[in-house]
């Protein structure tokens, strides 16, 4: 019983903290962010299973987390608002070849991040980028000028 409550609470605590950590915890992951994800996951595990490390307890915790994840995915598919709250919305950091400083500052992005994404898309110069979009999963999509 306590394990299931702890697993559900831990799931939501992790979702909230990761969600407010800007959009880089899952994608565009550097070593710096790997430390964050492993450390937070490890800490939540401690309170979820407590001193009971039996197969039964751990299985219940895994099932509870799986059920929560499925329920949240279902809610996201039914409500775009919930989807926006949990995943955010895509944001254009370059629009028609113009930097969008409000988005860059708000999302704590650096120009180097966008330029790196441009190189991945085969664009060698930033001024050749028409649109750069920070996607919900943290990736940056780059659309070169025609």
Q: Using CB under 8 A as the criterion, what x/- string covers residues 110-139 for binding other proteins?
A: ---------------------x-x------
Which residue lies nearer to other proteins by CB, 14 or 31? Answer: 14
Q: Where are the alpha helices (DSSP H) in 2-96?
A: 2-20, 31-49, 55-78, 80-87
**How far is the first Cα of the chain from the last one, in angstroms, to the nearest whole number?**
59
Per CB under 8 A, does 20 bind other proteins? Answer: yes
Rounded-to-integer distance, Cα 8 and Cα 2, Å: 10
Structure tokens at 37: 């994800």
Per CB under 8 A, does 84 bind other proteins? Answer: yes
Contact present, 44 and 13 (Cβ < 8 Å): yes
Per CB under 8 A, does 16 bind other proteins? Answer: yes
Of the candidate spans 33-41, 70-78, 82-90, 117-125, the one that interacts with other proteins by CB under 8 A turns out to be 82-90
Per CB under 8 A, does 70 bind other proteins? Answer: no
- Helix, strand or coil, per DSSP, at residue 67: helix
Q: Which residue ranges make up the site for other proteins (CB under 8 A)?
A: 16-17, 20, 50-51, 84-85, 88-92, 95-96, 103, 106, 131, 133, 143
């Amino acid at each position: 019983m306590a394990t299931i409550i702890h697993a559900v609470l831990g799931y939501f605590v992790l979702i909230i903290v990761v969600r407010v950590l800007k959009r880089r915890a899952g994608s565009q992951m550097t070593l710096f962010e790997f430390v964050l994800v492993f450390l937070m996951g490890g800490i939540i595990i401690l309170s979820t299973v407590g001193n009971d490390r039996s197969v039964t307890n751990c299985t219940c915790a895994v099932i509870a987390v799986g059920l929560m994840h499925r329920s949240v995915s279902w809610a996201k598919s039914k409500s775009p608002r919930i989807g926006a709250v949990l995943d955010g919305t895509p944001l254009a950091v370059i629009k028609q070849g113009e930097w969008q400083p409000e988005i860059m500052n708000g999302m704590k992005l650096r120009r180097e991040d966008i330029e790196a994404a441009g190189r991945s898309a085969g664009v060698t110069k930033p001024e050749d980028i028409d649109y750069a979009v920070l996607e919900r999963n943290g990736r940056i999509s780059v659309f070169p000028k025609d």
